[in-house]
Amino acid sequence: MGIVVQKGIIAPALFGLLFLILSAGYAAVFFIVPIPLLFKLIIAVGLAALAVAMVFVIIQRNKEIQEETKDDLSKY
């Protein structure tokens, strides 16, 4: 049995991955720029919270897509 990838799952996963990559790049810039440690920590915590939220949203969206697919199949 192979893994079936649905079109609806690919878009949120790619968007989430792009978000995480851009957030990591953004964080890297702020750790290079000479600003006070407190601000760096606030930025890091904020970006980490956004990353966790993004992963949660992607997981929820994938579950919704799978449930919609099951519901669609039961209609026929």
> Alpha-carbon Rg of the chain, whole angstroms?
18
35 assigned to some structural domain: yes
Which secondary-structure segment (H or E) carries 67?
helix 37-74
Q: What is the DSSP letter of 4?
A: P
17 assigned to some structural domain: no
User: Could you tell me the two tokens for 60?
Assistant: 């929820």
14 assigned to some structural domain: no
Q: Answer for the pair 19, 54: CB distance below 8 angstroms, yes or no.
A: yes
Sequential pLDDT tens for the chain (76 residues): 445 556 667 777 788 788 878 887 877 787 788 888 898 888 888 888 888 888 888 888 878 877 776 655 555 5
2 assigned to some structural domain: no
Full residue range of the structural domain in which residue 65 is found? 31-70
20 assigned to some structural domain: no
45 assigned to some structural domain: yes
